[in-house]
Amino acid sequence: MAQIVAGSAAPKTVPALLARNAAQFGSKPAYREKEFGIWQSWSWSETAAEIEAIAIGLMALGAKKGDHIAVIGRNRPALYWSMVAAMKIGAVPVPLYQDAVAEEMAYVLEHSGARFAICGDQEQVDKVIEVQETVHQIEHILYLDARGLRKYDHTKMHAMADVKAEGRAAHDRFEKELAAREASLKYDDTCVMLYTSGTTGKPKGVVLSNRNVIETAKNSSEFDDLRPSDEILAYLPMAWVGDFIFSIGQAFWTGFCVNCPESADTMMTDLREIGPTYYFAPPRVFETQLTNVMIRMEDSGRFKKWLFDRYMAHAKRVGPDILDGKPVSAGDRLKYWIGDKLIYGPLKNTLGFSRVRVGYTAGEAIGPEIFDFYRSLGINLKQLYGQTEATVFITAQPDGEVRADTVGVPSPGVEIKIHDNGEIFYRSPGTFVEYYKNPESTADTKDPEGWVATGDAGFFEEGTGHLRIIDRAKDVGQMADGSLFAPKYVENKLKFYPDILEAVVFGNGRNRCTAFINIDLTAVGNWAERNNIAYASYQELAGHPRVLDTIQAHVEAVNASVAEDPMLSGCQIHRFLILHKELDADDGEMTRTRKVRRKIIEEKFSELIGALYDGSDEIYTETEVTYEDGRKGKITATLQIRDAAVTVDTAHTRVAAE
């Protein structure tokens, strides 16, 4: 494989990278997508031709320099190409979360001023049409999948196939202008605009320049030694900065291949078929996979189960050390090798991780057991810490220095400083340009010297120089007695139990902590099945006394673990309840990236919180829910409230007594 051009000769825009790849890697696959049961692939030169056709097609429709072009749909090559085509003609691609409901989409479409919307299918087209009733600047809708759209008014609607055909036909007419527009693109021109999901308030449009994207892609690719022969599976939302950097930034910089699954449901099969070498997943995905493995092992035969347990125990002991290159005795290595042939290898193959060379998880804290499970199998799973405003990378774990409780050392080119209140600030080549049409927020977040507030509180660990994150800075509060309140810290500990899907801890300014719990229907449901507990719904299972007993045991174990840290021992949970519904983004309780919206939950369930503090044993409640199609309904429930034993913090009491 040819070496990547470095230094000043390196291409300065994403379209320029495309031209380089088409010349350098011509016939090597750039994008694959499974369709009609077969992996279809496009080489870099074919990709360049497709992108040019879309670009000219868009120009023929009247797309101007500086226009915003919304892209909405699941991960498909044609949508990635549309984004690059938009860049090529000097427009700015704005990918949107495909599962957002129309009213959420309306804000972003209006704020970005998009004149074009490129949609994956009828579902997205319908939402855009609904938005058009209030947002009038959207002129043209393009779509990939024509199904169900035949009868729609096509005066301002176009099938992508037609746009491409028109682009090819109009090649000679627009060739010069396209070349001129592409040549006029500069390093500091906007490359993409990504809306943050916003744990509070309205989403903000983060403007990233070509410099941000290319510098970050370059640094991070070199950090992990990414190669043109690498393969990734693009399955995370296209609107998320991580997907943009992996599937466009790093893919274009390094020239590796991006594989798009057949549909959301086939992700696991496609993962196994592709066997990516570079893989990213939020902790939740790893958790789900581990839960599934464990459930299936519970159902397996006695001998298999024994073999699995025996070798997994060995892997847990020596696996991570072997991965980190630490000294391990020859006998243990031999046993690990046998285990690899019998258990680890086949298991990795089933999970689709046989070829993973670099794996990342980020976004939330990952449970140490989960993290160690994958590492002990020999999967190089690491953690990184980042955000949209930093073009992802702030810190990452180098090979050989991987731990569950840190997020690594500053990424290449990133400077970090920590404020007196614990908040983390960074400055890097990936630091965003601005929030679109929002100078106040930009000024609030980024100071004139370029330092950006992350909103997270953390500290550098002495000795290793690794960063540890405690919580969101604004969520870190004080209990009534002045001790530290860090809800996320406790919630993460709770969520490490497979039975617990979500937890929300309250206690800021109060004398004791309490919690809402969401059970994990897969794990608890399986447990119920094995124990002959009948249930008809999530709500019924969540209210079952034995489920409450199990969760209570988990809460008490967490309390004991929290008590070990004198700084945070005040955060032990005194009372808890299991919510009657799963927290859901459709109800506004979580963001689309599944982060808990604390304020909204506090307001919505205020009576439940009241009950947690007034000593009552149960509470009757009515809650409004939103179905997937936008309709609303109501569920009612009587919830049990349980007291959990707290561990007395010896150090703390001793100080108090003296």
Partner 1 sequence: MKVEPFVTADGRTIGDVMMEMRNITLRFGGVVAIKDISFDIREGEIRAIIGPNGAGKSSMLNVISGFYHPQEGEVWYHGARRPSMRPYQVARQGIARTFQNIALFDGMSVLDNIMTGRLNHMSSSFLDQAIWWGKAQREEVEHRAKAEEIIDFLEIQAIRKTPVGRLPYGLKKRVELARALVAEPKLLLLDEPMAGMNVEEKEDMSRFILDVNDEFGTTIALIEHDMGVVMDLSDRVVVMDYGKKIGDGTPDEVRGNQEVIDAYLGVSHD
Residues in contact with partner 1 by the rule CB under 8 A: 35-38, 147-148, 150-151, 262-263, 265-266, 269, 629
**Edge to edge, what strands does the sheet with 381-387 contain?**
278-280, 358-361, 381-387, 392-396, 409-410
Least distance CB 119 / partner 1 (angstroms): 17
Cβ neighbours around 83 below 10 Å, total: 26
* Selection from 446, 449, 432 nearest residue 387 by Cα: 432
Closer of 126 and 643 to partner 1 (Cβ): 126
- The smaller minimum CB distance to partner 1, of residues 153 and 449, is found at 153
Of 265 and 614, the one with the shorter C-beta distance to partner 1 is 265
Angle at the Cα of 116 from the Cα atoms of 115 and 118, rounded to 5 degrees: 160
Give whichever of 263 and 653 is closer to partner 1, judged by the CB atom. Answer: 263
| Shortest distance (Å) from residue 543 CB to partner 1 | 22
The Cα angle at residue 83 between residues 77 and 89, in degrees rounded to 5: 130
- Shortest distance, CB of residue 148 to partner 1, whole angstroms? 6
Minimum separation from the CB atom of position 474 to partner 1 (A): 38
Which of 493, 517, 499, 641 minimizes the C-alpha distance to 571? 493
Nearer Cβ to partner 1, position 150 or 176?
Answer: 150
Length in residues, the chain: 658
Nearer to partner 1, 614 or 629 (CB): 629
Q: What angle do CA 23, 25, 30 make, to 5 degrees?
A: 115
Note the Cα 287 to chain centre separation in Å: 14
CA angle 238, 239, 242 (to 5 degrees): 75
CA-to-CA distance for 107 and 532, rounded, in angstroms? 48
Identity of the residue numbered 521: L
Task: Return the residue matching tokens 């176009």.
Answer: 158
In which region does residue 465 sit, left (phi positive, over 0), alpha (psi from -120 to 50) or beta (all else)?
Answer: left
Which DSSP helix (H) or strand (E) runs through 453?
strand 452-460
CB of 132 to partner 1, least distance (A): 20
DSSP letters for 250-304: IHHHH--EEEE-SSGGGHHHHHHHH--SEEE--HHHHHHHHHHHHHHHHTS-HHH
**Shortest spacing between CB 37 and partner 1, in angstroms:** 5
Q: How far is the CB of 498 from partner 1 (least distance, A)?
A: 24
In the complex, the smallest distance separating the C-beta of residue 263 from partner 1, rounded to whole angstroms, is: 5
Contacts of 249 (CB under 8 A, 6+ apart): 14, 213, 214, 216, 217, 391
Q: Residue 106 and residue 203: Cα distance in Å, rounded?
A: 11
Q: Cβ closer to partner 1: 214 or 234?
A: 234
Burial class (CB in 10 A: 0-12, 13-18, 19+), 444: exposed
* Closer of 122 and 438 to partner 1 (Cβ): 122
Q: How far is the CB of 161 from partner 1 (least distance, A)?
A: 16
Q: Which is nearer to partner 1, 35 or 461 (CB)?
A: 35
CB of 124 vs partner 1, minimal distance in Å: 15
Write down the least CB distance from residue 525 to partner 1, Å. Answer: 15
Task: State in angstroms the smallest separation of the CB of 524 from partner 1.
Answer: 20
Q: What is the dihedral of CA 407, 409, 415, 420, to 10 degrees?
A: 60
Owner of token pair 């309780």: 589
Q: Which is nearer to partner 1, 270 or 389 (CB)?
A: 270
Annotate 110-172 with DSSP letters as a single string: HHHT-SEEEESSHHHHHHHHHHHTT-TT--EEEES--TT-TTS--SSEEEHHHHHHHHHHTHH
Q: For the chain, what is the total number of helices (H) and then of strands (E)?
A: 24, 28
Residues β-bridged to residue 472: 456
Q: How far is the CB of 296 from partner 1 (least distance, A)?
A: 14
Give me the least distance between CB of 102 and partner 1, in Å please: 18
Residue with tokens 């990278």: 17
147 or 341, CB closer to partner 1? Answer: 147
Of 233 and 515, nearer to partner 1 (C-beta) is 233
Smallest separation (angstroms) from partner 1 to the CB of 261? 9
**Strand (E) or helix (H) holding 616:** none
Are 506 and 402 contacting, i.e. CB atoms less than 8 angstroms apart? no
Q: Which amino acid is at 61?
A: L
Query: Is the Cβ of residue 262 or residue 556 nearer to partner 1 in the bound state?
Result: 262
**Which one, 228 or 261, has the nearer CB to partner 1?**
261
